Chain A
Amino acid sequence: MRDLRANAIILIAYLIVGVGSFLLAIPPGFLAPVWLPGAVGLASVLIVGHRALPAIALGMFALTLPYGLYVLDAGLDRSLAGSFGLAAAAVAQAVIAKRLIHPGDRSDLSLESGAQLIRLIAFGAIFASMCGAALASAWLTIGGFAPPQLDFFTAFLRNWTGNAVACASLTPIILLLFASKRVSRTRKRNVALAFLLLCAIGIGLFSLARINAIERRDELFNAQVTEDHIALQERLNGARRRLESLEGFFAASENVTRDEFEIFIDIAFGQFDSVNSVHWLVVEDADSRSSHAILAPVDHLRFDTRRRIPVAPGRRLVTDFYFEGLTDLIDDLLASGTLSASSLRGDDHTAWLALAIPAFSGRSLPDDVAQRRENLQGIAIGTFRIDAILTGSFQRERQVYNYRVNGLAADGSTAWQYGSAPADSPLATSRELRLGGQIWRIDYVATDRFLAAQQDWVSWAVIVVGLCFVSVLNALALLSTARTDLVQRLVDEKTVETLALSRNLSLILEHAADAIMGLDADGRGVLVNPAAAKLLGYEPEELTGRNVHDLIHPVDMDGKPHARADCPLVLRGRESDQHSGVERFRRKDGSDFFAEYSSEVIRDTDGRSLGDVTIMRDITERLEAEADRDRFIERLTRANEELERFAFVASHDLQEPLRLISNFTGLLASRYNDNLDEAGRTYIRHTLDATVRMQALITDLLAYGRLNSDVDMMNRDVDLAQLVTSTLDTLGPSVQAARDNIKIGPLPVVRGNPARLGQLLQNLIGNAVKFQPVGQDAHITIDAEDIGDAWRLSITDNGIGIKPEYREQVFMPFKRLHSPDTYPGSGMGLAICRKIVESHGGVLTVSDNEPCGSVFRFTLPKTGPDKQDQ
């Protein structure tokens, strides 16, 4: 469907420019100086490829067939054959051009590079059209379809030049208009309009010149014809005068001998070369016998034997010269009483004309026919060869015109009599010739030679060269503007983008919460956004164009005045173009505030500073809040430290008296045992038990307090598997007994404090062993799992478990769920464990184990505790 449409469009264009080319063709011979269909064919095969070939073939066929039929009158079969060959040649030319030029894609048709243009001209316009011309000319001349006067070389040259000129001049603009994507539609339309307008103007001027030239040519033709026609008339008049002189000759002498007649004729007609024969026909009475011979009888005139033609009663015209129509001529002669002419006689080659003139007795011409018959003395008849008369008269025949002599009957009808001339010449004229009662119409038909000689070559040249020039010029204009168009299009697109960007930027600037200021290289404000103006208490206009540093930044962080050259915001001379920090700024009302700022130097392409852009944010509140927080943290830390120190010192100092109590009670028991009764010894024993328990409490409390004091040992690689093994070794005999029931999974290496982690494991494993129902063996599983950025270790036992309501309480210092008599211990173990895990950045929890016992799980980050603490 697309092919069909493309072919239809190409065909229509082909036919239109083909008809135009025919109109531009120069008569005679109709040389087409520009064969525009060649250009259309080349362009279309380049644009749509071989799909264009049917249209080219059909177009060529349709264009040339009527030419053969009607212009060359070659007959249907010869015309068909000729057109067929020409169509084939056009297709061959297109294929050759396509193969040679072979555009990779449509962008090659934009003709942007000189190489593309040269390839198009060299291959498409010159070489391919040469091939096409050679094929077409060979077909026409060898096949005999061309007019006989057209030889191969002439045909080839005409065909080639016409084709090449059209291809070279018109193809580029067609390609640019229909194939180039670089050229905008608007420009294509404008250039096409301009192109068509110029073409129309050219064609109009050409038409005016042509009309003018034709008028001048016709005038010249008519003048020359008239001149020759007058000469013809003169020549015939000469013949007439000579015949009339013959009349006088006979009137003068009654009796003329044959010799005298011949001498006279010789004198009268000697120089008149078209005369065929001259006769003197004498009228005699019935009894008289006289006669005159003919002069120089011409062989091809057939003459009868002597005849006698009665003209009046008793009078007869004696003649040995006779032709059919002679009696009619005599009748005409008697009727008119003067010179009469016969119609043309003979055939095409030997046509002749008889002119007769009567001689009457008496001075004057008798009035009526009967009297004339009575008075008729004789008739002089001359026969003249038409060809000689005409040749002698027509100086320009065959150079300027061919002629045709037609007899004009009384009823107005014409009949061809002599001469040949083609009927279809664009220039012909007719003249009437009257002689001796006969009327002829002579058709003068301009010869090709005359037409060619009178051709206005200048206007042809102007129109052809002009059209080529205009199309080439427009193509060049399109080519040169294509790039401009592209650039313009890009500029337009970029402008739209830039406008959108600048709109967005100004929106951002307008609505930015941070203050944004642009300063030029001298520190004058160029751009101040509303947030900046509001922050500084100025109107934006008050800051633009003024030295901003002196206005808003007169003092440094400590409140001391400083010059702009010392200002940390002024970035010239700095190694980096970026700078940020905190500075003290001043509002319009004189109040100061602290702002965090970030400045960056803006440079041009040569690296020169154009100024800088500073973004700032009021951090006064934040600074105050930070200071509050820091103070709070400091207070808290101090309180905490005091508390811990208090606990540590207290527990340490508590140890002293306790130890002395224990020492002296012990001395009492050992040295005064015998002096005491049973009750006294029991008291001492209870006292010692209490001191032991209290010492355990104090030891654990000290250990708990010390956990914070050795953070510097937190960041070592700890192999947990190894640590578990060594921990099990250090645990008491109850654990050693249960060791077979302790399962240890694969354990990782973590970062932390080995001693603390050992204490953690010791406490947890010790608990697992300790908190067992009486008589039950402990089964303990120690395992680890990877939970991404941390390890989770679990210690699972089958012990007595922990009720849900106590799961948090067990981690509190000195919290016990059982009496020391049931399960000994200070109640600090799990508190210490949780503190160790937390100081490593982990979490320690406990949950139920099924069906009995507990699972203690704690996490240890893979990165180590140092990062987690901060």
Chain B
Amino acid sequence: MKMPRSAKILLVEDNSGDEFLVRDAFERGRARHELEVVRDGEAALQRLRGLGEHAEKPVPDLILLDLNLPKIDGRDVLKTVKTDNSLANIPVLVLTTSSSPLDIENCYALHANAYLTKPFDALGYEEIVDAVESFWFATAVLPPHGNGTH
């Protein structure tokens, strides 16, 4: 792997089943990673802005964002992140069940970096994680956050 350090991934997901599957897929993957999970949109924003308990945590390299979230909807989280100058450069990959064209269009309009639908079959997550790792962690160059914190 080209990446010398482990990638910090923030998964915003309320469903523990999905969290399990994503985590499982990343663990089966090849990249070094730190997967952090928040359960709702509000927590996600607090985490990203380093508020409260998240004060000393580093800025994630990649955000995996579900759309249907408790408290603050994933779409609003996306919008806030992409309009916040200090956060806008973090790649946000929308990972959702919805295959609605409207959602797809809206998310890209809000500058989502990718729109991924949650797969139905068991190996689907592994394929997604494999693609994310090979593109975002191996091929693409991510913005230089270093190990900086807020």
Hey, which bits of chain A sit against chain B, CB under 8 A?
652, 655-656, 659-660, 662-670, 688, 691-692, 695, 699, 702, 706, 709-710
Extra contacts, 15 of them, besides A659-B119, A669-B122, A702-B100 (Cβ < 8 A), are A652-B68, A652-B97, A652-B98, A656-B68, A659-B97, A660-B18, A662-B120, A663-B21, A664-B122, A667-B21, A668-B122, A670-B122, A688-B121, A695-B120, A710-B102
For the complex, is B15 an interface residue (Cβ under 8 Å from A)? yes
In the complex the two chains form, is A664's CB within 8 Å of B97's CB?
A: no
Residues of B within 8 A of A668 (CB): 122
Q: Is A706 in contact with B122, judged by CB distance below 8 angstroms?
A: no
Inter-chain contact A666/B121, CB cutoff 8 Å: yes
Question: Given that A660-B15, A663-B17 are known contacts, is A706 also in contact with B100, CB under 8 Å in the complex?
Answer: yes
- CB neighbours (8 Å) of B1 from chain A are none
Query: In this complex, what residue of A is CB-closest to B66?
Result: A656
CA distance A691 to B120 in the complex (A): 9
Within B65-123, which residues are at the interface with A (CB < 8 Å)?
A: 68, 97-102, 118-123
Instruction: Report Cα–Cα, A706/B102, bound state, in Å.
Output: 9
Tally of chain B residues near chain A (CB < 8 A):
20
Collect the chain A residues with CB atoms within 8 Å of residue B24's CB. Answer: 667
Q: Is B26 located at the chain interface by the 8 A CB criterion? A: no
DSSP majority for the B interface?
Answer: loop
Bound: A688/B120 CA distance, A? 10
Shortest Cβ-Cβ A-B pairs, 3 listed: A666-B122, A660-B17, A667-B122
Shortest CB distance B4–A (Å): 32
- A350 CA / B111 CA spacing, docked (Å): 166
**Which residues of chain B are near A659, meaning CB under 8 Å?**
97, 118-120
A710 to B123 Cα, complex, angstroms: 33
Name which residue of chain B comes closest to A709, CB basis.
Answer: B102
Q: Is the interface of A mostly helix, strand, loop or mixed?
A: helix
Report the nearest B residue to A657, measured CB to CB.
B17
When C-beta atoms are compared, the residue in chain B nearest to A666 turns out to be B122
Nearest Cβ on chain B to A692's Cβ, whole angstroms: 8
A656:B122 contact, CB within 8 angstroms: no
Q: Which residue of B lies closest to A699 (CB)?
A: B99
Compute how far the CA of A652 lies from the CA of B119 in the bound complex, rounded to whole angstroms.
14
The interface centre, meaning the residue of A662, A666, A670, A709 with most chain B CB atoms within 10 A of its CB, is A666
Residue in contact with A666 in the complex, picked from B18, B68, B118, B123, CB distance below 8 Å: B123
Can you list, as one digit per residue, whether each of B119-143 has a CB less than 8 Å from chain A (1) or not (0)? 1111111000000000000000000
Q: Assess whether A663 is in contact with B100, with CB atoms less than 8 Å apart.
A: no
Residues in A whose Cβ lies below 8 Å from that of B120: 659, 662-663, 691-692, 695
CA A763 to CA B102, docked complex, whole Å:
21
Assess the A656–B119 pair: CB atoms within 8 A.
no
Are B121 and A662 in touch, CB under 8 angstroms? Answer: yes
A652 to B118, CA, bound (A): 12
Most buried by A among B99, B100, B102, B123: B100
A-B contact pairs, 5 of them (CB 8 A): A663-B17, A666-B121, A667-B122, A699-B99, A709-B102
Which A-chain residue is minimally distant from B18 (CB atoms)? A660
Q: For A688, what are the chain B residues with a Cβ–Cβ distance below 8 Å?
A: 121
**Which residues of chain B have C-beta atoms less than 8 A from A692's C-beta?**
120
Residues of B within 8 A of A660 (CB): 15, 17-18, 21
Which A residues are in CB contact (< 8 Å) with B18? Answer: 660
B-side contacts of A691, CB under 8 Å:
120
Determine the chain A residues whose CB is within 8 A of the CB of B100 once the complex forms.
Answer: 702, 706
Q: Would you call B123 and A670 a contact (CB within 8 A)?
A: yes
Given contacts A652-B97, A706-B102, A709-B102, contact A663 B119 (CB under 8 A): yes
A663: which B residues are within 8 A, CB to CB? 17, 21, 119-122, 124-125
- Residue of B whose beta carbon sits closest to that of A668: B122
| Residues of chain B with a CB closer than 8 A to A656's CB | 15, 68, 97
Most buried by B among A656, A668, A692: A656
Chain A hits for B124, CB < 8 A: 663
Q: Are A665 and B122 in contact (CB under 8 A)?
A: yes
Contacts of B21 in A (CB 8 A): 660, 663-664, 667
